Structure 1
Amino acid sequence: MSTVTLGKVKTIKTLNSIAETGLKVFKKDEYTIDNESTNPDAIVVRSFNMHALEFGDQLKAIARAGAGVNNIPVERCTEQGIVVFNTPGANANAVKEMVLTCLMASSRNLFAGVGWTKTLEGEGAAIPKLVEAGKKTFVGSEIKGKTLGVIGLGAIGALVANDALDLDMDVIGFDPFISVDTAWNLSRNVQRAMTIEQLFAESDYITVHVPLTPDTNGMFNEATFSIMKAGVQIFNFSRGELVNEADMATALENGVVGKYITDFPNENTLQMKNCVSIPHLGASTLESEENCAIMAARQVKEYLETGNIKNSVNFPNATLPYTGKRRVAAFHKNVPNMVGQITMAISSYELNIADMVNRSRGDYAYTMIDIDNKINGEIIPGILEKIHQINGIVNVRVI
């Protein structure tokens, strides 16, 4: 696919209800929101399942207003040169607050207690005495001085860890892939677990904030439960598949796990003893939806207008200050001499290169090249086609 972006009005399609504050990022004289379009420049989506959709040849980007991208055919997008964005951290505070709410509520048996109180309806004047007699069933524990294990110290995990320290908990964290940015934001008082087994063994409560991968699928199972303290409480606001549900049901029944709080209800979790199934409310706040929509829209706008990429799950992140010069942006296979072939094609039109950046990610790479020459707003005919003929080019456009 070869395209030219020279100030034309761009089409944005949404596949879910996207917060209006996010859509306002797209200025009306430069963008149109057309949810019936079959060939938009970009799509903004939340949870809509896109795997069965066909993509038009003008589609350049898909932005997920949220962190998970399981609903997007990322591999197919990569093969077609469509950049997929997500919005890490935009909903972090909402999820953090939910984790801490559930941490305290479950420790004090609040969920079970409130449910029991509802059964007293109709008892009239006897209710106060029944409450005093029954409340001993729901005696809980304080979280102060207890140990919280945080698996995954990204945007959400770091916030949970820091705030748990402020609640006078001991916090131990495990994340072998922690980023430099997150490390700067993480309190020095968070203890580092050298292995996940250490975290399992030392924690009274465990909260998990990692993506679903072949390595993390079913990471909570009979073998890992056997390492944990008896009665440990586990909080899952990441992905339901991180837990082997058959093993969890057995562990709850036997008291190996004291409570399991999950944001991903299904028939299995609803039947588990001491399991609280929350209807996927972790990031469901007005503020979170607005933050995700704004972040998604800004990333799409930046990419369409400058070619710069941030927070892509399938393209390498790449930025080059945009000065208004004509910019060639090429997505290609990560093989030797691709940059040389692209620059040679540009030079063959007697064009000077002002600046460039090349970044790779796995089998693919992305190159942006600014052209120094003044070419009166026109693209020399044939330059896109010439670059696209290079073996290994997935797509190329001029901005």
Structure 2
Amino acid sequence: MTKVLVATDKPFAKVAVAGIRKVVEAAGFELALLEKYTEVSQFLAAVADADALIVRSDLVTAEVLDAAKQLKIVVRAGAGFDNIDLEAATKHGVVVMNTPGQNSNAVAELAFEMMLYQARGGFAGKSGFELRGKTLGLHAFGYVGKCMAAIAKGFGMQLFAYDPFLSAEDIAKEGVTPVASAEELYEKCQYVSLHMPANAKTKLSINHALLSRMPKGATLVNTARAEVIHEEDLLRVFEERPDFVYLSDVAPICKADIEAKYPGRFLFTAKKMGAQTEEANTNAGIAAAEQIRDFIVKGDKRFQVNK
């Protein structure tokens, strides 16, 4: 019998586990849970006889893959998959997938919650400003970017997007104005929201050359990854521009410097919060189970990321 292991240091919500179990058992598979484990050795022991693996932010390293002698597929319940060693997985013949789109609305809502909190001065009783009429640039226009656009239209914001993997026509059909370059996006927009993955091309790419182009009242919103920010350049922009604000659910390494020198010009969540809703948790977990079922039963590799 195919064994599906859900290994989560931070467990899924009970409703999500129930949904995963329903999909797995309906397919005739066995479900095993490893929740709140404290030692890597526990993970290694649990994965030894698993055919399929579902994780959240848990590290699937070469060591884990070495221990997983029967493993055929691992699915990251979420969009990012930098917690999985793709090279090692490929060497072991293990298919790696993510669940794109399942957390998108939760991430987009968090971005707007941070923007609203900052715009109204942290609800401290002081006068703030409105989002209506402000320019919002979406740096990458995938699932989250499209959710951002839908919400921003309700606020009456002016929308622009840059994505090197999409045509201008693809962006325009969503009611968003396409721009030809990242530089143009930053020049036009008071708000820029980041939605790209962390990879060789994007790491450290959000730098002084881009941020210094932003108009007065510039606010950078990061619900993507910390690694895309060039932190030395970020600190330089903070120093040069008293109008610059940084909102992020990924606290930078230079957090202490920003907190000490630039009060009122930043917001960092206590931990990465983008996908931390019951709905996103459930959607991603069930999608992961469905993708495993379809891979085992039909050979469906639609969401494979280690091609």
Deviations for 1:297-355, whole angstroms, at most 9, x for unmatched residues?
1001110112111211113xxxxxxxxxxxxxxxxxxxxxxxxxxxxxxxxxxxxxxxx
Superposed displacement of residue 29, structure 1: 7.6
In the alignment, the residues of structure 1 paired with residue 282 and residue 27 of structure 2 have an alpha-carbon distance, to the nearest angstrom, of 22
Q: Which runs of 5+ in 2 are unaligned?
A: 35-45
Name the CA distance, whole Å, in 1 between partners of 2:95 and 2:207: 35
1:262 Cα offset (Å): 0.9
Distance 1:186 1:48, change over 3 A: farther
Instruction: Report deviation, 1:151.
Output: 0.7
Structure number with larger C-alpha Rg: 1
Q: Deviations over 1:349-392 (max 9, x none)?
A: xxxxxxxxxxxxxxxxxxxxxxxxxxxxxxxxxxxxxxxxxxxx
Give the TM-score normalised by the residue count of structure 1: 0.66
Q: What stretches of structure 1 of length at least 5 have no aligned partner? A: 1-8, 115-134, 316-399
Q: Which has the higher helix share?
A: 2
**Partner residue of 1:27 out of 9, 25, 46:** 25
Query: Equivalent residue for 1:44?
Result: 54
Q: SS of 2:60's equivalent?
A: coil
Shift of the 241–75 alpha-carbon distance from structure 1 to 2, 3 Å rule, reads same
Runs of 4 or more above 4 Å deviation: none
State the Cα distance separating 1:37 from its structure 2 match. Answer: 4.4
Q: In structure 2, give the amino acid aligned to 1:298.
A: E
CA distance in 1, matches of 2:27, 2:180: 54
Q: Could you tell me which of 151, 160, 176 is aligned with 1:163?
A: 151
Spell out, residue by residue over 1:174-193, the C-alpha distance to the aligned partner (whole angstroms, 9 max, x if none).
0121389x9389523x1111
Counting only pairs closer than 5 Å after superposition, residues 1-399 of structure 1 correspond to structure 2 as 9-16=1-8, 17-18=11-12, 19-20=16-17, 21-27=19-25, 30-34=28-32, 35=34, 36-51=46-61, 52-53=63-64, 54-110=66-122, 113-114=123-124, 135=125, 138-178=126-166, 183=170, 187-188=174-175, 190-255=176-241, 258-272=244-258, 273=262, 274-278=265-269, 279-315=271-307
Instruction: Output the amino acid matched with 2:49.
Output: N
Look up the match of 1:352.
Answer: none
* 1:18-65 C-alpha deviation (Å, 9 max, x unpaired): 331223210168221234341211010001112131243321100000
**Mean Cα displacement is larger for which, 61-70 or 305-314?**
305-314
CA contact (8 A) 2:197 2:225 kept: yes
**C-alpha separation between the residues in 2 aligned to 1:40 and 1:78?**
17
Paired with 2:86 and 2:22, the residues of 1 have a C-alpha distance of 26
Measured against aligned partners, the alpha-carbon deviations of 1:84-124 in whole angstroms (never above 9, x if no partner) come to: 010000011111111111222212222xx54xxxxxxxxxx
Instruction: Normalising by structure 2, report the TM-score.
Output: 0.85
* Residues 193-232 of structure 1: per-residue CA shift (max 9 Å, x gap): 1111110101010001011112211122122222221330
Q: 1:186 to 1:27 in 2, by over 3 A?
A: farther
Identical-pair percentage: 29
Indicate the RMSD between aligned Cα atoms, in angstroms: 2.1
